[in-house]
Amino acid sequence: MLGKILVRRLGGGSLGGVIVETEAYYGMDDPASRAYRGRKRYNAVMFGEPGRLFVYNVHRYWMLNFVAHEPGKVGGVLVRALEPTIGVERMMENRPVERLEDLTSGPGRLTVAFGIDKGLNGSPVDDEAHPVHVLDNHLAFVVGRSGRIGVTKDLPEELRFYVKGNGFVSRRGEG
């Protein structure tokens, strides 16, 4: 997902940016995953077809995830940050900030700026006709890795991925 362009159609216009930070979440064996305690009504999308949005709430903010897993498994990718490139003025209306780097550098910040909410849960992302979709982008960059942010129990693998040196990454340190 790193380097791809996330696009949100909203109110006759578009918002967009380059994904610069993500975290991977596995299924029922991952203590930080929303699927850890099994299938529930709120996380059912995560158990379904890959290529759909999984939107859930944490501390009054919506989290934007892409359902991504192998057949018969469960998993998702949280979009933690992006570099805004399309409709920046509209994003700033949705989430006023002084520094552009603070606009979408964190999962809650990103969803406020993009007008993402639970109404998008389960939406497919594989077609430009959908309100949220992903476009390929051919960028060269170096990928950094670290442990996931804000989880109390984690797996030993480093499952946070980010574009090294990008000023829109939520935490710029190496770990």
Return phi, psi of residue 45, to 5°. Answer: -60, -35
For residue 78, the model assigns a pLDDT of 96
Q: What is the pLDDT of residues 91-114, one digit of tens each?
A: 999 999 999 999 999 999 999 999
Hey, what domains does the chain have and what are their CATH numbers? 5-163 (3.10.300.10)
In this structure, the number of other CB atoms found within 10 A of the CB of residue 84 comes to 23
pTM for the model: 0.93
Q: Distance (Å, rounded) from C-alpha 20 to C-alpha 54?
A: 19
